[in-house]
Amino acid sequence: MTQRVFSGIQPSGDTHIGNYLGALRNWVSLQDSYDAVYCVVDLHAITGPYSPEELSASRLQTAKTLLAVGIDPDRSLLYYQSQVPQHAELSWLLGADTPMGPLNRMTQYKEKSDKSGEQLGLFSYPVLMAADILIHKVHAVPVGEDQTQHLELTRDIAVRFNGKYGETFPVPEQVTPGVGARVMSLQKTTSKMSKSEADPHGTILLLDDPYTIVKKLKRAVTDSGSEIVYDRQNKPGISNLIDMLSIFQAKPVEEVAADHADSQYGTFKLAVAEAVVEGLSPIRAKYQALEDEEVARLMTKGALDARMRAEATMTEVRSKMGLGV
Ligand code: ATP
Ligand code: MG
């Protein structure tokens, strides 16, 4: 039987190069060998302050971006989470006996609640994420490194459910790239690049034009000293840029560092900018060619298919939990 893969992205702002390098490029490549299910997880994007108008625009923009990076709706199931109510239902059923201890230790909750308040939805976010994954009974989940803790909880929830109610969910494996798993902000090299980052100069957006990409990379915070060496601990700024170049040039980080050993920071940044512009330009072009109506149609169709699949799991889950008809 073909193995299945699932992942999600929040429509919480503009998709950036961290999302792409850490997760989306794996989403694309895994389509070749897996039965792939990808989701714009809008129910996760309402756990802090948000504007309904902006959310609505961001959902469509995120869906279009996924198609532009290479998610192929003929091969993969793609839909908006909120259009498949079984996600929320399974989240409740799984959350009913999820202990508070692990949730209390989630670092993302601590970071996000400091900024946007202590909402219940933000606290229970990892349980909804577990439901998103488990409802499709998947084997692999391509995510960035920041999701490791959440995925561990998902695995624990799957194991507990299977132990209590009988074998139901495969215990999914995390798929995280060797390079690019944690792209750092260009302005604050101790924080990961995020959609919700306040400083627009900290993120390179997938839809940024070449001029903006060059400007942001020229302004990128670099480390003390002047050597181009790969040392994520002591030279996080330069190492972050080496990571980007390594991916876009498909060369190991050591080779990239050696290629630029004699360069100044300024020259090196321009080389990175050139590679990023070249790497992102097909995505931008494809995005611009997509019609909103066509994307909306695809998303509606995806939701119908996803509901059927999700309902099959829910019928089994309800029955095992003593909630069947
Ligand atoms: P937000 O700030 O709203 O949480 P985000 O930028 O973290 O947004 P998400 O939608 O939460 O984006 O995550 C989508 C995917 O991108 C996840 O798999 C996540 O692990 C990955 N990801 C997010 N930021 C980075 C990053 N800086 N480097 C690598 N992967 C990342
Ligand atoms: Mg995030």
d(CA 317, CA 173): 21
| Helix, strand, or coil (residue 118) | coil
Give yes or no for residue 64 CB within 6 A of ligand 1: no
Ligand 2 centre to CA of 173 (Å) is 19
Give yes or no for residue 12 CB within 6 A of ligand 1: yes
Spell out the CATH class of 200-287: mainly alpha
164 is known as an active-site residue: no
For residue 108, the ligand 1 atom closest to its alpha carbon is 4
Checking if the pLDDT of 177 tops 80, the result is: yes
Which ligand has the minimum distance to the alpha carbon of residue 150? 1
Rounded percentage of the chain residues whose pLDDT exceeds 90: 96
d(CA 64, CA 292): 8
Domain 4-178+291-320 sits in CATH 3.40.50.300: no
Per-residue DSSP letters for 291-312? Answer: -HHHHHHHHHHHHHHHHHHHHH
**Domain spans of the chain, in order of start:** 4-178+291-320, 200-287
110 is known as an active-site residue: no
Q: What's the pLDDT score for residue 264?
A: 94
Q: Take residue 298 and report the two structure tokens written for it.
A: 């695809």
Indicate the pLDDT class of residue 1, thresholds 50, 70 and 90: confident
pTM score, two decimals? 0.97
d(CA 112, CA 107): 9
Model confidence pLDDT, tens digit, residues 61-95? 999 999 999 999 999 999 999 999 999 999 999 99
Alpha helices in the chain (DSSP H): 17-19, 25-30, 52-69, 86-95, 100-104, 107-116, 120-123, 125-134, 148-165, 210-218, 236-249, 253-259, 265-289, 292-320
Ligand 1 centre to CA of 182 (Å) is 9
Ligand 2 centre to CA of 12 (Å) is 9
Q: Take residue 301 and report the two structure tokens written for it.
A: 């169709």
Spatial strand order of the sheet with 35-40 comes to 77-80, 35-40, 4-9, 140-142, 173-175
Tell me what the pLDDT averaged over the chain comes to.
97
- Closest by CA to 256, choosing from 247, 98, 265, is 247
192 is known as an active-site residue: yes
Indicate the pLDDT class of residue 325, thresholds 50, 70 and 90: confident
